[in-house]
Amino acid sequence: MPSASPPDRRAAPAGEGGGGAGTGPALALLAGCQLVLVVDASIVNIALPSVQRGLGFTDAGLSWVVNAYTLAFGGLLLLGGRAGDLLGHRRVFAAGVAVFTAASLAGGLAATPGWLLAARAAQGAGAALAGPGSLALIATTFPDGPRRSRALVVFSVAGNAGMVAGLVLGGLLTAWASWRAVLFVNVPVGVAIVALAPRVLRESPGREGRFDIAGALACTLGSTLLVYGFIRAAERGWHESRTVGAFCGAAALLALFPAVESRARQPIMPLRLFGDRDRVGAFLMRLLLTSAMSGMLFFLTLYVQVVLGYGPLATGFGFLPTTLALITASRAVPRLLRRYGPQPVMAAGAALCVVGMAWLTRVSPDSSYLAMILGPVLLFGAGTGLVAVAATFVAMASVPPGESGAASALLQSMQQIGASLGVAVLVTVDHAAARGAAHGASRVEGMRGAFTAGLAFTVAMLAMALVAFRRRAAGEESTGSHL
């Protein structure tokens, strides 16, 4: 592949200097894009019955309306992040949003199941190009200090709130319009982002060099097989031949990846990013948090609709307290990091998640929303706000500008892999618990088993917070002070 072209310097004055008065529009654009990308991973969930009726999907094929997006997004993130490092993050970001927007339009017009699945996969590919660039552009647009801290909080809130916002928006659009609206809604937003990007975003410096082809193949195929393995495990079980084959292939490729990268002149994933103990801890915290949260939302959605009898719209609004608690807790993170450092903040957030998930293990057929759902979702929302924002701060701290795309892609890969892992594990436990329950109680018993598995993820997250991060010595500058 030819050398990367020189970076495009035709940026609007708003972005020049990184952090002038014009950075507000840049932040709104980047956070808005991240919100849309994450929302699209969940917005179709509530619309799936309507999709099945409209296009004639089989039960097995219907799950791939969600999985096609997840697989492409998770598998291509590392490649998308490194492409931005070499070619310029604004250029790759805008190209990714353009692909995502065109695929959304195509999906909304779909007349056959195959057409819709292809469009969803293309959406995921576009998201994998745009996602890492949006976080990397935060680092290049906003200077160290309070401006960047505020930008990272807004960006993290947008990403994490998107998991819940997708359920609310999906319920609204499906109830008031049709399932096609959950795809068409992306089109005007995407067109606006592509049009505004050259005006409000400053291009990041490109780097002369070539793509690490061997590393790109190993990480892309390995990540794709890993995500596919978790998806397959949730559908067919952990011992099914394709599940085992996917995991074996992923293990082989990802084990080969460090050796390939250590020999590459310009690796797609610089191994020195793993040399910081706190950064590695942040990546793992993100993985465990998303595993617990995705599984919790999956089974709570079922519980509220199947057991409590809520409709799609009421179900979506039932998760709004999660978003409110998440936003409230997130706003406190920069101040808490400056005062206490990352370990206490991570531990406090993980502890809130543990209590919320432990509460959910007590659900019964007679539970009510106020007694059994509201408290846990508030606790989990607050815990997620603390952990997710702190993990983003730590993961991106002191990353060289030329490697911000790789670090951003790795952080977001942990989110995508964690989402697939969490659903796969909790679905497996749900099935096992339901089979062992008395007739008539199997549905709720299965869910209680799933929430118990989710509790294990949150306990692991708390243990990780206590052991993985360096304790701040007296007088030592905390992570939050230089972000």
Residue 406 domain-assigned (yes or no): yes
Do 388 and 454 fall into the same domain? yes
pLDDT top residue among 270 and 188: 188
Kindly state whether residues 197 and 229 are assigned to the same domain. no
Judge if 281 and 251 occupy the same domain.
Answer: no
Q: Does the residue 195 lie in any domain?
A: yes
Q: How many angstroms separate the CA atoms of 18 and 150, rounded?
A: 14
What pLDDT, on a 0 to 100 scale, did the predictor assign at position 250? 92
**Range from 326-335, 444-453, 456-465 that averages highest in pLDDT:** 456-465
One-letter amino acid at 266 equals: Q
Residues 278 and 479: beta-carbon distance below 8 Å:
yes
Which structure tokens are listed for 168? Answer: 């609310």
HSE-up of residue 250 (Cα within 13 Å, Cβ side): 16
C-alpha triplet 79, 278, 276: angle, nearest 5°: 65
Q: Is residue 287 part of a domain?
A: yes
Q: What is the pLDDT of residues 47-98, one digit of tens each?
A: 777 888 889 887 667 778 888 888 888 888 888 888 888 888 899 999 999 9
Which of 201, 234, 254 is where one domain is finished?
Answer: 201
Q: Per the structure block, which two tokens stand in for 116?
A: 């819709």
Which spans in 88-240 are helix H?
Answer: 89-108, 113-141, 146-176, 181-184, 186-200, 213-236
Do 257 and 287 belong to one domain?
A: no
Of 109-118, 152-161, 164-173, where does the model show the most confidence?
A: 109-118
Q: Would you place residue 193 in the very low, low, confident or very high pLDDT band (cuts 50, 70, 90)? A: very high
Residue 7 lies in a domain: no
Last residue of a domain, one of 201, 224, 244: 201
Query: Average per-residue pLDDT in the chain?
Result: 83
More confident residue, 10 or 122: 122
Same domain, 379 and 240: no
Which letter does DSSP use for residue 365 in this model?
T
One-letter amino acid at 476 equals E
Q: 225 and 95 in one domain?
A: no
Alpha helices in 367-437 (DSSP H): 374-396, 404-435
pLDDT at 171: 75
The verdict on 180 and 140 lying in the same domain is: yes
Q: How far apart, in Å, are the Cα atoms of 473 and each of 470, 476, 478? A: 9, 5, 9
What burial class does residue 437 get, using C-beta atoms within 10 Å of its C-beta: 0-12 exposed, 13-18 middle, 19+ buried? middle
**Phi-psi domain of 475 (left: phi exceeds 0; alpha: psi -120 through 50; beta: other):** left
Integer Cα distance of 245 and 42 in angstroms? 27
In a domain, 82, yes or no: yes
CB atoms within 10 A of CB 440: 9
285 has a pLDDT exceeding 90: yes
Tokens of 409: 């892609």
pLDDT of residue 101: 96
In a shared domain, residues 151 and 219: no
Is residue 477 a part of any domain in this protein? no
CATH number at residue 355: 1.20.1250.20
- Helix (H/G/I), strand (E/B), else coil: 468: coil
Relative orientation angle of helices 23-42 and 64-87, to the nearest 10 degrees: 150
Q: Which amino acid is residue 449, in one-letter code?
A: G
Residue 188 counted as domain residue: yes
Neighbours of 96 (CB within 10 A): 28
326/230 same-domain check: no
Are residues 193 and 281 both part of a single domain? no
Q: 96 and 62, same structural domain? A: yes
Between the alpha carbon of residue 38 and those of residues 31, 266, 412, the distances in Å are 11, 30, 10
pLDDT above 80 (res 286): yes
**First-residue to last-residue Cα distance in the chain:** 35
Band of residue 408 on the pLDDT scale cut at 50, 70, 90:
confident
Give domain status of residue 475, yes or no. Answer: no
287-302, pLDDT tens digit by residue?
Answer: 999 999 988 888 888 8
Q: Which of 201, 228, 246 marks a domain boundary? A: 201
The number of folded domains in the chain is 3
pTM: 0.80
Query: Which residues form the domain of 85?
Result: 12-201
Report the length, in residues, of the chain: 483
- Conformation bin of residue 441: beta by default, left when phi > 0, alpha when psi is -120 to 50: alpha
Say whether both 259 and 292 belong to one domain.
no
Average pLDDT of span 460-476 = 76
Is residue 2 classed exposed, middle or buried when 0-12, 13-18 and 19+ CB atoms within 10 A define those classes?
Answer: exposed
How many Å is the Cα radius of gyration of the chain? 21
